[in-house]
């Protein structure tokens, strides 16, 4: 993939809001996987918040607010196809079961309650991976405790 031209350097982005939100009990406001385009988006602000995409590699982009330059999310493209296979721990968290069979709506409710703790785990692991990627650019992105 050709090198992307960035509107600004990664170090010009601000992490105050990101750090504050990630340390709250329910920090992830929006975690959505779009199977059709194979994209995972994590936001700590409402999904209708205007953001600009700042790629840090061929898969991962930081999402930031245009006016404040505050980082408010992460987007991963080609998530299941090529990003996920590179990260065993994230892959383990992402996979609910090798043979998850739901027979009725009750099973779906039970399964959703059983796996509701996965969202923070996915967010924590994705944030750690993103931090490792941006460190190569001399930038420090806070990760949740």
pLDDT digits (tens, 9 = 90+) for 9-45: 888 899 888 888 877 766 677 888 999 999 999 999 9
DSSP structure class, residue 50: -
Burial of 22 (0-12, 13-18, 19+ CB in 10 A): buried
pLDDT greater at residue 5 or residue 48 = 48
Give the tens place of pLDDT for each residue, 102-118.
666 666 666 666 555 56
pTM above 0.85, yes or no: no
Question: Tell me, what's the pLDDT at 139?
Answer: 79
How confident is residue 99, by pLDDT bands cut at 50, 70 and 90? very low
Domain ranges of the chain: 10-135
Residue 88: which residues within 8 A CB-CB, separation 6 or more? none
131 has pLDDT over 80: yes
If one compares 85 and 137, the residue with the highest pLDDT of the two is 85
Rounded mean pLDDT, 65-76: 95
- The mean pLDDT value of the chain amounts to 82
Q: What is the pLDDT of residue 79?
A: 94
């Amino acid at each position: 993939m050709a090198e992307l031209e960035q509107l600004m350097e990664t170090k010009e982005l601000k992490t105050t809001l990101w750090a504050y939100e990630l340390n709250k009990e329910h920090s992830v406001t929006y975690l959505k996987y779009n199977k059709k385009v194979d994209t995972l988006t994590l936001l700590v602000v409402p999904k209708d918040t205007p953001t600009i995409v700042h790629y840090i590699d061929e898969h991962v982009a930081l999402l930031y607010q245009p006016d404040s330059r505050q980082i408010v999310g992460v987007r991963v493209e080609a998530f299941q196809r090529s990003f996920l296979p590179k990260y065993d721990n994230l892959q383990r968290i992402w996979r609910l079961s090798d043979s998850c069979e739901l027979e009725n709506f009750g099973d779906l409710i039970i399964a959703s309650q059983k796996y509701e703790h996965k969202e923070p785990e996915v967010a924590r692991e994705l944030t750690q991976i993103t931090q490792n990627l941006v460190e190569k650019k001399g930038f420090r992105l806070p990760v949740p405790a």
